[in-house]
Each structure stands twice: as structure tokens, then as C-alpha cells.
Structure 1
């Protein structure tokens, strides 16, 4: 069976879990433990289904190649859900370390490089179709990332699956570790203040996380409910970094351009619906490119982005599975 999730992914997950434990004790944080149940149950269910399929492989007449895809896909579902729990806790607990808000700094960096957030916001605000497309792209990001993982596993691109998980996990950990140094209410609040409504929007965009951020900064022990916690990192923008990672994950496959178009729309939505400054996005792009470059240079991945050797999407099933066993 393919070596998934692999030693690096497991080490990264273990490191994040250790950081969570240290922060819980340091901040005397309160975790709503029952809020972990849905993801943990789903992860266990995925492993249960995998065990059933392994036991019934002969009866179901599944080939070894198909079982490899099920193996990586179902283990991946469990691994990703555990990662999400761990990273969400890490994100929120780091924001419980109260540092000065960085909005003036980040806005100043935008101005220093000549980028006008307000001009872009008003450009989007006046265009109904564009606004709806961008909003859908932004709110569907998590679902698209998860679907992309399943598509890679289903296509038999099992080496890419491992690469995909590694670059996302590394980028997330770095973004959170940097982001808590730059806590911010975001560009929407910076330019418009705390509003109840904005013309052209059914609800004020780019402020969905502000209440949670301020609650963590209130001075009391952090309280984390995993069922209601949004992402809190402003700088660097993980949505932007994630869009780059998505596109690179499908490089040299027939899905590259559709995925890249989605990523472009999602990144374009981030200043408005994520409340990000442009410098957040620049930092997100740089972070994603650096992480992908470093990880792709590892020996096991050097062959992955070569010119496709078959007419299939990316690599053939046989090539992908044999590579994943290394």
C-alpha cells in the first residue's frame, strides 16, 4: 500500500498537537470537547469503511490499484479532519496571546506600495454578477480543497495526494505561526468601521471573524468551540496561499486550468470577503511558492511534475501508485 500520510505529515501533525497542549496549559484555555465529536466520528467512520473494504476486497473483486485509491482516500479523509481540528485549536489559541492590532501597519504597507484597497472594494461593490461569483468562490474554498484531495485520490495520483497534504499542512502551520504576530480586524473594519450594513451587500463582508478575534483578546481564558470557529489569520492570507497550492497541485494535468480559474476567482475575492489587505495576499503567494519549491525538491517528488507520460490526467495509475510506494 502507498506510504500515506508519510513520516513528514505525521511529524507535522504531532508537532502541532504538542503546541496545542502547551498553549492550552499556558493560556488556561477551555476547549469545548464535545465540539470535536463530529470530525472525530467522521474520521473514525472513514477508517471503519476502509477496514471493511480491505476485509471484503476479494468478495467485492476490487483490484489492488483500486484498493490503493480507497486506502489513500479514506485514510486521507481521517488525516485531514484530525489536522483541521489540531490547526483550528492552534490558530485560536495563538490569537489568545494578546498583541497590538496590526491594521494600521498592514494598511500602511498597502499604501507604501501604491495599492488602493478602497478602489478595489468599490469596483467589486458595484458589479452584482462579479460580486456573487467572488463570494461563492470564497465561501466554497474549504469544500473545493477537500474535493480536490478526493479527485486526486480517485484519479490515482497518489504521490500528489501526499504532496498536497504536506504543502497545505506546512503552509498552514507557518501562516498561523506568523499570523498571531499580526492580529488584525481586517481591511473592511479599518476603512469602514464596525458597520451593521454596507450598500450592495446583503451582509457586511470581511468581518465574520472579528467578533471571535475580539472575544479572544478580551483578557479571559480562551474558549474554543470547534463548531463555530473561523480562521483568524490576516497576514499572511491563507486563502491566497491555498489558491496557489491548489493550482500547483494540479500542474501538468488536464484539470490545471479549471482549478487555476477557480483559484484566481477565490484569490480575487479575498480582499473583499476575507477582509484582507493586499500585502496579506502578497505574503500568501510568496509563502505558498516557497513551501512548494522546497517540498517539490525532495527526492520522492522530483519526477512528479515532469511532462505527463500518458494520455491520462497527469500520470497513469500505475506510475502514481509505484511512486507512492517509495
Structure 2
């Protein structure tokens, strides 16, 4: 059963997450105001669904029986709103025209002893692996939908809010770093085909198509339904893999599936997404950073006078004990 103190801390973290979403929205408005970009097709399923989920979640929160679905729906609303803002922000950022870093990232791979062309040719020589690569790359949808449902409906509200916070922060960091260190991707750098009879690098298409047009100024009308993932360094797929494992690790029977699915996604990301290996390393590092930030902020919230006054005597000073985890958060 969810304790009163845990619920209060989760609610305060939720307010912080809404502030992050509002910050993303303000950044997007500022970006549109100081550039020549325009947004088109604003009435989309995602744009309509996010506020509907938020309204439903707030309504359910007032019902004694609706707390768990409420936290789930509000998490979906926060993440959906963040993505809606982040997608056009990534396009605006990459239009800044900073020098492309493809050759530098390829060199970093070589210094680490990682041979991307050899990895590509191995995959092409073993076509039975390509279907698995596409499957695992698509697993980014699992944490987006599965984590809020599992954590929300099992009453792990604090970990749910930490996950949402870490994911939004990771997306912001990835956009900022990609703006400063843009890259088109491995297929561009090595001159290898991304679309063949046996394989199409679906995750790479947006980068190859849109980044050149962003840089030369020919793409300025952004349709929300047509925006793709164009961020190369760091890899958000890689960041999501670590976020997914961390967020659900307390559920022991999910650990094998978590490790298999996310390890597969990390292996498939360079091939399907046209990422350098250093993109994957950087993505995991970003996730580790934002996880730690979310935990530190949780500790600050838990140590506030409001939380301290409601902690049990068995908890360490300044730490919140989550009964779902049996340890301090």
C-alpha cells in the first residue's frame, strides 16, 4: 500500500516535472520567435491526446479508487508533451549550422578499436540478423508505454516520477549536445548504402533527409506529423535503454527481459540508426547523469521540512524510504 509520505513526495516531483515540460514549451516558443521556423499541422493525435490524458488524470486523482491510473495517465501526458516540444526543438537546434562532427566521431570509434564498416558488412553478410536488429531498435517504444503503466499501476509513484524526470532531462541534454556537435551519421561518413534490397536503416532516414535541408535553410516549415528522430550524438535510443533497465529493476522477474531487450537495442542502434559507437556510449552516459540528477532532486525534496516531519523513525535523516524498493531513494 502506498504511504502518505511517498504520495506527497511523488506529487511534489510531479510538479517539478510539469515545470520541466513548461520549460520545454517556452524554449520552443522562443526558438520559433527568433528564427524563421513555422509549425504546421498542430492538430495531431499526440497534441490532442496529451492534454486529454492530463485532464483525465487530474479527474481520477480526486477519486479514491483512481490514484494509480491517474499517476499513469499524468506520466503519459508529461512525456507526450515533452516529446511534442522536443521534436521541433531538435530541428531548430540543428539549423544552427555548427560544424559537422562525423569525421571526428568516426576517428573516436577507431581510437576505441571499434570498426563500424566491419560491423555493417558483418550484418549484411548475415541477413537473418537484420530482422532482429529492426525488432530490437523498435524496443524504444517499450519504456515509453510500459514503464508508466507498470510503475503507475503497481504504486511505485516516486520511481515513476524519477523516470519521467530523467527521460525529459536526457532528451534536453541530447538536443543541446547535438546542436553543438551535429552529425549526419555513419552511412554518410563511410559512403555505405542505408537502403538495400535486404535492409533499410529506418532510423537513419530522417537524418540523411532533413539535416542537409536544415543546414542550408530550405527546411523551415515543420509539420509535427513528419518530424523524425534526427539526433545522432548522443544516442537517445542508448539513453532510453539504460533508463528502462534502471526504472524497472526493482521488479525482479522483469530483469531478464529488460536485459535482453535493451542489450539488443544497444547492439542494433548503430546499424538501424546510423549511429557511431561513441553515440551509444555518450547516450548511456547521459542517462546515467540524468538518473543521478533525478535521485539527487528526490533526496532534496524528501529532506524538506514537509517530508522530514512525516518520515518514519526508521528512515535515515534526509532520505526517503520507498517500501517498493526497501531502500532509500
Q: Which stretch of structure 1 is more off in the superposition, 142-151 or 236-245?
A: 142-151
Are 2:65 and 1:38 aligned? no
Counterpart CA distance in 2 for 1:152 and 1:275 is 32
- Are the counterparts in 2 of residues 247 and 260 from structure 1 also a CA contact under 8 Å? yes
Give the C-alpha shift of residue 41 in structure 1.
1.5
Give the C-alpha shift of residue 130 in structure 1.
2.5
Counterpart CA distance in 1 for 2:108 and 2:133 is 25
Identify the residue that residue 224 of structure 1 maps to in structure 2: 222
Deviations 1:208-254 (A, max 9, x none): 11112222122246221111111111111111111011101112322
Give the C-alpha shift of residue 274 in structure 1.
0.5
Among candidates 234, 240, 247, match of residue 242 of structure 1: 240
Question: Tell me, which stretches of 5 or more residues in structure 1 are unaligned?
Answer: 58-63, 303-317
Counterpart CA distance in 2 for 1:207 and 1:83 is 22
Identify the residue that residue 156 of structure 2 maps to in structure 1: 157
Counterpart CA distance in 2 for 1:52 and 1:145 is 23
Are 2:72 and 1:73 aligned? yes
Question: Tell me, which stretches of 5 or more residues in structure 2 are unaligned?
Answer: 1-6, 303-321
Identify the residue that residue 191 of structure 2 maps to in structure 1: 192
Q: Give the TM-score taking structure 2 as reference length.
A: 0.82
- RMSD between aligned alpha carbons? 2.8
Counterpart CA distance in 2 for 1:129 and 1:50 is 44
- Are the counterparts in 1 of residues 12 and 301 from structure 2 also a CA contact under 8 Å? no
Are 2:30 and 1:22 aligned? yes
Give the C-alpha shift of residue 54 in structure 1.
6.0
Give the C-alpha shift of residue 289 in structure 1.
1.3
Instruction: Name the CA shift for 1:94/1:149 in 2 (closer, same or farther; >3 Å).
Output: same
Deviations 1:180-213 (A, max 9, x none): 12222200221125x4743631x35553111122
Instruction: Name the CA shift for 1:291/1:187 in 2 (closer, same or farther; >3 Å).
Output: same
Instruction: Name the CA shift for 1:129/1:43 in 2 (closer, same or farther; >3 Å).
Output: same
Instruction: Name the CA shift for 1:47/1:171 in 2 (closer, same or farther; >3 Å).
Output: closer
Identify the residue that residue 309 of structure 1 maps to in structure 2: none
- Are the counterparts in 1 of residues 139 and 262 from structure 2 also a CA contact under 8 Å? no
Identify the residue that residue 133 of structure 2 maps to in structure 1: 134
Give the C-alpha shift of residue 36 in structure 1.
4.4
Counterpart CA distance in 2 for 1:250 and 1:223 is 39
Give the C-alpha shift of residue 13 in structure 1.
1.7
Give the C-alpha shift of residue 8 in structure 1.
2.5
- Map 1:1-326; keep pairs closer than 5 Å: 2-3=10-11, 6-32=14-40, 34-50=41-57, 53=60, 57=63, 64=64, 66-193=65-192, 195=193, 197-198=195-196, 200-201=198-199, 203-204=200-201, 206-209=203-206, 210-220=208-218, 222-254=220-252, 255-298=254-297, 299=299, 319=323
Q: Give the TM-score taking structure 1 as reference length.
A: 0.82
How many aligned residue pairs are there? 299
Instruction: Name the CA shift for 1:136/1:42 in 2 (closer, same or farther; >3 Å).
Output: same
Counterpart CA distance in 1 for 2:111 and 2:179 is 23
- Are the counterparts in 2 of residues 30 and 221 from structure 1 also a CA contact under 8 Å? no
- Are the counterparts in 2 of residues 205 and 275 from structure 1 also a CA contact under 8 Å? no
Instruction: Name the CA shift for 1:4/1:128 in 2 (closer, same or farther; >3 Å).
Output: farther
- Are the counterparts in 1 of residues 163 and 247 from structure 2 also a CA contact under 8 Å? yes
Identify the residue that residue 308 of structure 1 maps to in structure 2: none
